Structure 1
Amino acid sequence: MPRPRQEIGTYGKISTVELSGGGRWRARTRYRFADGKSRLVERTRPTAAKAEAALKRALLDVEAARGDMLKPTTTLKALGALFLDHKRDMGRSDGTLETYGYAVGAHIVPRLGDLTIAEATPSRLSTFLNATSRDSGPGAAKNCRSALSGMMALAVSNGAADRNPVHDVERLSRPRGKKGSSAIAPEDLPALMRAIRATPSLVEQDTVELFEFMLASAWRVGEACALDVSSVDFEASTATVEATNVRVKGRGIVRQGVPKTDSSARTTPLPRATTDLLARRHERLKAETNLLFPTVLMRLRDPSNTQRELREVREGLGYPKLSTHTFRKTAATMLDRAGMSATEIAAYLGHANPSLTQDVYMNTLAGDTRAGSVMAEALSGVIQSG
């Protein structure tokens, strides 16, 4: 049976031999170049170990012409910059560019920037991602994995790597015993909302009605902060997600006219009490802005500041784990209790994958399409009227 051909860009067994006269060792192997031809590559050093190490280093850049913009010897720092430029040229949203930019600049470059593409092995990347998860949290590690996968895909498409090593890295699992925000039991909602309305700092920051809207709509905090009156159909009692607020380095808070994902662009049926709340806000604010939830200075509201404002008071509210995400989970729980399906609830929440909705937001699901009426009934008396 014929011996299998060596793959392009790989080398065979390294042999070492002491040269005549003593004092020098030669390490040699056969490398298969992009033209399909195998050629001997060798290095000599005072010892066998040093000769082999020198040969392995040489093999990283032995084919200088390999690749287009990129080569196996291109550093991950340079690859990261090209990757971000590539995403920018593709017209990715400000929020996406900010997320990738932070992952590359704050995590990947400081820890991996001096590695070359050829040195970015699954083992090294796995060690990095596990350390990032431990030091900065699973969310940061997830963003770094996504950025690294895109970077190495760019390297593969330019011929600087034969395979994306991120594909061979085991996916990170959520730490045991560490859960995200929990839903509020529907029967506890009236008391919670009364406590929120009675919190001076939230009243001063004009955040109370924002939380009421988020509870009724199950919108993400960035989506709610970006809501414009043009996105509300008062007659039909619906609101459409058409933008999200994000922080962009060097620009501050930006109303990004593209939702988080394609599935995030959705029209949400609202309880009539919630639509009336939006109408009252528009009447009060229309002389200065078309935004429905601006800051008290009539500027774009920062989702991160809004989350912080809630964190600062949640102990006093009696819910030490309360977050803006709690309102989404609570809405999902109410729809679940009404017997709606995972697909229907996913559409209401703006999830692309119903399995995410089922795994993270509720337990057993089954039902029909009636989200608007379900939410109106569940929140009867919870959202303030007039």
Structure 2
Amino acid sequence: MGRPRQSIGTYGTINVTELRPGKWRARTRYRFADGKARQVEKYGTTKPKAESFLKQSLLTIEAGRGGELRPTTPLRILGQMFLEHKRGLERSEGTLETYGYAVTAHIIPRIGDLTIAEAKPDRLQKFLNTVHKESGHGATKNCRSTLSGMMSLAVSNGAISRNPVRDVERIAQPKGKKGAAAVSPDDLPDLMGKLRQAPTLVEQDTVELLDFMVASGWRVGEACALKASSIDFSAGTAEVVATNVRVKGRGIVRQTVPKTDAAWRVTPLPGPTMDLLRRRYERLKADTTLLFPTAVLTLRDPSNTQRELRDVRDSLGYPKLSTHSFRKTAATMLDRAGMSATEIAAFLGHANPSMTQDVYMNTLKGSTRAGAVMQDQLKGLI
């Protein structure tokens, strides 16, 4: 009987030969996805180096043949191709950063050498369970979403017939962990008074940013990116057209694409909030078009703002306070005033009103104008 036929994506015995002093050749036969076995060779200055170079090249050899996705393509290659695919679709810097972190920090180090065909649901489930145990729910959710996108790309390119992530169980968020907590409207006067007395927040010119956030319901990145050109002082509105994000190798970037399509919105603001913006505009217009820059008039980092708040919240008596608390507080006040889920979702920039209901409040009903409601709710606070 003849020798058993090699499986696709495997290689035979590696033969290493010294061609001359300081030059070694490693050679083997690799069976490609088209069924044909071809000779592959690599060189090195020593025998171990030549063999190592050959083995490394075999991990990515299919991707090197025209960049096509095959069942034998390793997930490390699929991950990079997925990121390039998203760049080609002109996804936002923040989105690319999120996907990129999942690929480089979790997927490649742990399962990057698995091939597409080997990425079965049970293996992916085990990987996600490990990420959840070591890095938490947020990282797990990000990795699952990224893996799903990667495997969808593999399906669309004919490398596999079904996305295996569909058969992976979702890992539920631990009970009791529901993110930032809203501040009770009854406690808001006390909190705002304490914030205005916090030396570090005053020094970093952060207090009025927080005033704006509770009145507008904007995300911290959106508020940090606000420019005068987005404000209509006569109409009493501000438009979300950008968000600040940190991009690896570039620092803080004003990304002129909001978080989602629904995030692109015009927000009616209370009169006192418009007065606050007008004062800031008059004070800053000679030096910057930003309304909430850093103390040295550069783009404000949302993460730094979150850290500033974390550093003082215990001393203020609000240990669960975060920048997102102000957004949830705005939703709570609108809910108390009887606005509908759809109206509040539009005000906050949510694509799905059900998410507004599930995450930001309990029951929603009635209808009224958000700007007028916020002016009444924040009377005397801004």
- TM-score (norm. length: structure 1): 0.83
The structure-2 alpha-carbon separation of the partners of 1:60 and 1:149, relative to structure 1 and needing over 3 Å to count, comes to farther
Measure how far apart 1:61 and its partner are.
5.3
Structure 1 residue 330 corresponds to structure 2 residue 329: yes
Q: 2:244 is paired with a residue of what secondary structure?
A: strand
Measure how far apart 1:28 and its partner are.
12
Alignment match, 1:367: 366
The residue type equivalent to 2:285 in the other structure is K
The structure-2 alpha-carbon separation of the partners of 1:279 and 1:314, relative to structure 1 and needing over 3 Å to count, comes to same
Alignment match, 1:129: 128
1-side partners of 2:230 and 2:367: how far apart?
26
2-side partners of 1:157 and 1:199: how far apart?
54
Measure how far apart 1:176 and its partner are.
1.2
Q: Is the 8 A contact 1:335 1:371 kept in 2?
A: yes
Alignment match, 2:90: 91
1:293-308 aligned within 5 A:
293-308=292-307
Question: Which stretch of structure 1 is more off in the superposition, 218-227 or 165-174?
Answer: 165-174
Question: Which stretch of structure 1 is more off in the superposition, 208-217 or 84-93?
Answer: 84-93
2-side partners of 1:269 and 1:130: how far apart?
44
1-side partners of 2:375 and 2:68: how far apart?
57
1-side partners of 2:121 and 2:34: how far apart?
22
The structure-2 alpha-carbon separation of the partners of 1:67 and 1:118, relative to structure 1 and needing over 3 Å to count, comes to farther
Alignment match, 1:253: 252
Question: Which stretch of structure 1 is more off in the superposition, 91-100 or 261-270?
Answer: 91-100
Alignment match, 2:58: none
Unaligned runs of 5+ in 1: 1-18, 32-42, 44-57
Alignment match, 2:215: 216
Deviations 1:17-45 (A, max 9, x none): xx8xxxx997999x9xxxxxxxxxxx9xx
Deviations 1:266-319 (A, max 9, x none): 011100000000010111111110100000111000000100000000001100
Q: 1:73 is paired with a residue of what secondary structure?
A: coil
Q: 2:125 is paired with a residue of what secondary structure?
A: helix
2-side partners of 1:138 and 1:306: how far apart?
23
The residue type equivalent to 1:258 in the other structure is V
Q: 2:262 is paired with a residue of what secondary structure?
A: helix
Alignment match, 1:315: 314
Q: Is the 8 A contact 2:6 2:31 kept in 1?
A: no
2-side partners of 1:346 and 1:127: how far apart?
36
Q: Is the 8 A contact 1:197 1:203 kept in 2?
A: yes
Measure how far apart 1:357 and its partner are.
0.4
Alignment match, 2:233: 234
The structure-2 alpha-carbon separation of the partners of 1:140 and 1:28, relative to structure 1 and needing over 3 Å to count, comes to closer
Q: 2:187 is paired with a residue of what secondary structure?
A: helix
2-side partners of 1:375 and 1:244: how far apart?
23
Measure how far apart 1:87 and its partner are.
0.7
The residue type equivalent to 2:310 in the other structure is R
2-side partners of 1:335 and 1:262: how far apart?
22
Q: 1:179 is paired with a residue of what secondary structure?
A: coil
Measure how far apart 1:378 and its partner are.
0.4
2-side partners of 1:166 and 1:117: how far apart?
12
1-side partners of 2:210 and 2:72: how far apart?
51
2-side partners of 1:241 and 1:290: how far apart?
15
Alignment match, 1:197: 196
Question: Which stretch of structure 1 is more off in the superposition, 372-381 or 128-137?
Answer: 128-137
2-side partners of 1:224 and 1:127: how far apart?
39
The structure-2 alpha-carbon separation of the partners of 1:211 and 1:28, relative to structure 1 and needing over 3 Å to count, comes to closer
The residue type equivalent to 2:99 in the other structure is Y
The residue type equivalent to 2:311 in the other structure is E
Q: Is the 8 A contact 1:99 1:143 kept in 2?
A: yes
Q: Is the 8 A contact 1:244 1:256 kept in 2?
A: yes
The residue type equivalent to 2:261 in the other structure is D
1:1-386 aligned within 5 A:
63=35, 69-383=68-382
Q: Is the 8 A contact 2:338 2:368 kept in 1?
A: no
Q: 1:187 is paired with a residue of what secondary structure?
A: coil
The structure-2 alpha-carbon separation of the partners of 1:340 and 1:114, relative to structure 1 and needing over 3 Å to count, comes to same
Q: Is the 8 A contact 1:241 1:267 kept in 2?
A: yes
Q: 2:321 is paired with a residue of what secondary structure?
A: coil
The residue type equivalent to 1:214 in the other structure is M
- Percent sequence identity is 68
The residue type equivalent to 1:357 in the other structure is T
Q: Is the 8 A contact 1:60 1:118 kept in 2?
A: no
Measure how far apart 1:150 and its partner are.
1.0
1-side partners of 2:284 and 2:247: how far apart?
26
The structure-2 alpha-carbon separation of the partners of 1:352 and 1:301, relative to structure 1 and needing over 3 Å to count, comes to same
Q: 2:346 is paired with a residue of what secondary structure?
A: helix
Measure how far apart 1:161 and its partner are.
0.8
1-side partners of 2:284 and 2:75: how far apart?
49
Measure how far apart 1:90 and its partner are.
1.1
Q: Is the 8 A contact 2:309 2:322 kept in 1?
A: yes
Alignment match, 1:38: none
Measure how far apart 1:172 and its partner are.
2.2
2-side partners of 1:263 and 1:296: how far apart?
31
The residue type equivalent to 1:333 in the other structure is T
The residue type equivalent to 1:89 in the other structure is G
Unaligned runs of 5+ in 2: 13-29, 37-61
2-side partners of 1:307 and 1:115: how far apart?
38
